[in-house]
Structure 1
Amino acid sequence: MASSAGLALCGKALVVRGGSRFLAASTASSDDDSLFIYDCSTAEKKSPGNEGEDGRPTDQGNDTILASTFSKSGSYFALTDDSKRLILFRTKPWQCLSVRTVVRRCTALTFTASEERVLVADKSGDVYSFSVLEPHGGGRLELGHLSMLAVSPDDRFVLTADRDEKIRVSWAAAPHSIEAFCLGHTEFVSRILVVPSHPELLLSSSGDCTLRLWEYRSGRQLQCCDLASLQEPVEPRGHKRFAASRITFWAQESCVALLCDSVPVVFVFQLEASGPQLVFRQQLTFSHRVWDIALEETRGLWVLQDCHESPLELWRPVQGRWQSVPEGAVLQRLSGHLHGHWAMLEGSAGAEDGFGGLYKATFDNVTSYLKKKGERLQQQLEKQQRRKSPPPGPPGRAKKARSGSTAWSH
């Protein structure tokens, strides 16, 4: 299973993942060159004959990391891989705390704000919670229906979204109790994010090429931004539809950065408190495929891209315009780490369209129907013509009949 390279950032801790491995480094300006590297292929596995939590044999994956995230304070880091494992780490200092088996492969995860639990969402739409304080405890089924996952900053609500366009707001203490639905997208929901500085607001993106702003407790849509109308011409051309693969927020500047999955651009918006409303500021265009982005409060926008010479770029606003920052000591050090471990990122080149299979299929039934109808009418017409015109007799017989007629005329 191919998985695109990923970037995670919390405080000064930066994680880059690719394939089955990730490396963690510090963005601090000091000469701290320490590096933590972890390879999921070395983690414990159930033997092929063992059974998972659902009572069925566990099939073996290739250890590719599917999703990862930091806790709110950055004290914990968790990941899931396609070998059906949830792996929990302590980050200060870095240490693997546990390797737990999940029922199915999980594609989204998040920590609660209290950092007492980590929630994981599997491909079938179920959400399980696992204890952080008891790192070897089993999972508990909470709810189902989703592909995307978020938790409100006060831990009161769990927000989930799916490929059927819905965003559901459920009570965390009683997940069967639904507070609201946020309805409006016309394609699958690709990402959701509760705005950290405005805990009552939700951002969502979709395969319908929109970014929407919600007051999620009431399910009220505040704004819809059509990304296709904002996009400036970029190469390669011809992308008629795309979805955001990452939404990230910079509280210091009240900026929203949006990375799209099939075009090498990042859209930057300003979230204005009056309204509130999103104001489009700038499109950042890149010459290489962008794998992931992350905003660091003190520095700006980190960009991880498919370029061996320059795998990381740092962007920040200068007099109102976002610009690439000249390479400094920190950027050189982090890029040097990636140069030495480039093999873990090379496999990500094959994961070009992560959302391609989620778009609704369209069928031109009218053209097919008219074609078949025309064929049926033509067949019926030919049958009618054959009935009106009796088949001619044998050639010799016809000739004899004509001769007889001639004799009678005489």
Structure 2
Amino acid sequence: MASSAGLALCGQVLVVRGGSRFLVTSTANSDDDVLFTYDCSTAERSHKRIKGEITGEDGQPVDKGNDTILASTFAQSGRYFALTDDSKRLILFRTKPWQCLSVRTVVRRCTALTFTASEEKLLVADKSGDVYSFSVLEPQECGKLELGHLSMLLDVAVSPDDRYVLTADRDEKIRVSWAAAPHSIESFCLGHAEFVSRIFVVPDHPELLLSSSGDCTLRLWEYRSGRELHCCHLTSLQEPAEPWGDKRFAASRITYCSQESCVALLCDCIPVVYIFQLDAHRQQLGYRQQLAFQHRVWDIVFEEGQGLWVLQDCREAPLVLCRPVDGRWQADPESAALRKVSAHLQGNWAMLEGAAGGDVGFSGLYKATFDNVTAYLRKKEERLQKRRQNPPPGPNGQAKKMKSGEASLRCSS
């Protein structure tokens, strides 16, 4: 689900988060140092005390979290940045210059958040299945309930024209709702066999949606009609010798490069990034390659014109920058931007050390299945075997032998 170590990027501004902290730096080939740092453990708490009990804005008791950042995102223009943490806070920042605008309380711990295209609102999805909207222009206003699901929400997105809100839940559903009237549902995208972990509206093809799931598939949709266009089974792409070949997994990140029409998929429990080519004309995805890593990968993000940034659990090389060379993506260790940003992370490694990646939470979302029939038939057969070996005594005290026909009849009952 949510990761305590991750990346967010807009233009050449890169945010790296770990635990309760994040730092902001530039990927440009300049002498810019760390632009901004923030620690959620020092953030104010907008709680009220009623009869000696600490409550949130909804009047309900607040259970204190550990300040770990659960999700973060940039507005499309890069003017705003927002995050939610384990202490049920929504923190909004202005980025030019960097400044904390507000700290607001959310009702439940959040799983995902996104800005609307107009950047007037911030939509926040939570574990109880609700989506709340928070004003960006009035940063002190409380949230407003927009829509709800009957199960946990795992991701939320908006269409580029702000007409639709897309939500993904644990019950295999993707719902497309009208933003102006969220109770009106435009469509459902149905087909996944497990929880939907991530959804992503393709920026330069705004009618298309990518989704990933615990059923080990990546799917392409025309979301307004709910029509599935293409399905990639990730298990069929694995090598037989790979040690994780029989594992179930879901994508913890989908990122897209418009310049290359390239989709990168990071999965939650294997050190592999899958690369696909999006053919919007044919409405399909073409598998290109795998990028394998020796260390646990926390997050990935594309930077247009630069490459794919990979955040990994390695102090000596916390970042890897991959670029296409002759049609194949590969690491570029000679990048000046990579050396600069990596040096900043090495100097702030304490915030990443011990951080959890995308492998936290997804394993607990698979629904347990129970096969009571098999256990019942096994126990029944054991009882019949005992009766055959120790038949009950007859009228004269001798053991009564079961006729072959009677035994077969009892076995079939």
Distance 2:328 2:141 in 1: 49
For residues 89-127 of structure 1, the C-alpha deviation after alignment (integer angstroms, 9 at most, x for no partner) is 011111100000011111110000000000001100000
1:282 partner letter:
Q
Residues 15 and 233 (structure 1), Cα distance of their counterparts in 2 relative to 1, 3 Å cut: farther
CA contact (8 A) 1:116 1:132 kept: yes
CA contact (8 A) 1:234 1:285 kept: no
Distance 1:253 1:126 in 2: 35
Query: Displacement of 1:201 after TM fit?
Result: 0.3
> Once superposed, what is the RMSD of the aligned Cα atoms?
2.0
Q: Is the aligned partner of 1:106 residue 2:110? A: yes
- Find the counterpart in structure 2 of residue 365 from structure 1: 372
- What is the SS of the residue equivalent to 1:357? helix
- Which range moved further: 332-341 or 49-58? 49-58
Q: Which runs of 5+ in 1 are unaligned?
A: 393-410
Distance 1:382 1:243 in 2: 51
Equivalent position to 1:199, from 203, 206, 212? 206
Distance 2:354 2:191 in 1: 36
Equivalent position to 1:83, from 73, 87, 91? 87
Distance 1:83 1:47 in 2: 14
Distance 2:341 2:154 in 1: 32
CA contact (8 A) 1:158 1:171 kept: yes
Distance 2:105 2:166 in 1: 24
1:299 partner letter:
Q
Query: Displacement of 1:376 after TM fit?
Result: 3.9
Query: Displacement of 1:240 after TM fit?
Result: 2.6
Residues 41 and 381 (structure 1), Cα distance of their counterparts in 2 relative to 1, 3 Å cut: same
Query: Displacement of 1:346 after TM fit?
Result: 1.6
- Find the counterpart in structure 1 of residue 154 from structure 2: 147
Distance 1:54 1:372 in 2: 52
- Find the counterpart in structure 1 of residue 256 from structure 2: 249
2:231 partner letter:
C
Distance 1:346 1:389 in 2: 80
Q: Is the aligned partner of 1:69 residue 2:54? A: no
Query: Displacement of 1:350 after TM fit?
Result: 7.6
Distance 2:358 2:253 in 1: 15
* Identical columns (%): 75
- Find the counterpart in structure 2 of residue 313 from structure 1: 320
Q: Which runs of 5+ in 2 are unaligned?
A: 400-413
- Superposed, 1:161-310 pairs within 5 Å as 161-233=168-240, 236-310=243-317
1:15 partner letter:
V
For residues 12-44 of structure 1, the C-alpha deviation after alignment (integer angstroms, 9 at most, x for no partner) is 110111111111111111111133110000001
Query: Displacement of 1:341 after TM fit?
Result: 1.3
Query: Displacement of 1:354 after TM fit?
Result: 2.9
CA contact (8 A) 1:128 1:143 kept: yes
Equivalent position to 2:56, from 48, 52, 62? 52
1:322 partner letter:
W
Larger-gyration structure (1/2): 1
Q: Is the aligned partner of 1:43 residue 2:40? A: no
Distance 1:33 1:218 in 2: 47
- Find the counterpart in structure 1 of residue 142 from structure 2: 138
Distance 2:92 2:138 in 1: 11
Q: What's the TM-score, normalizing by structure 2?
A: 0.90
For residues 279-314 of structure 1, the C-alpha deviation after alignment (integer angstroms, 9 at most, x for no partner) is 111111111111000000020100000111000010
- Find the counterpart in structure 1 of residue 409 from structure 2: none
1:26 partner letter:
S
Distance 1:390 1:34 in 2: 93
- Find the counterpart in structure 2 of residue 128 from structure 1: 132
Distance 1:352 1:252 in 2: 29
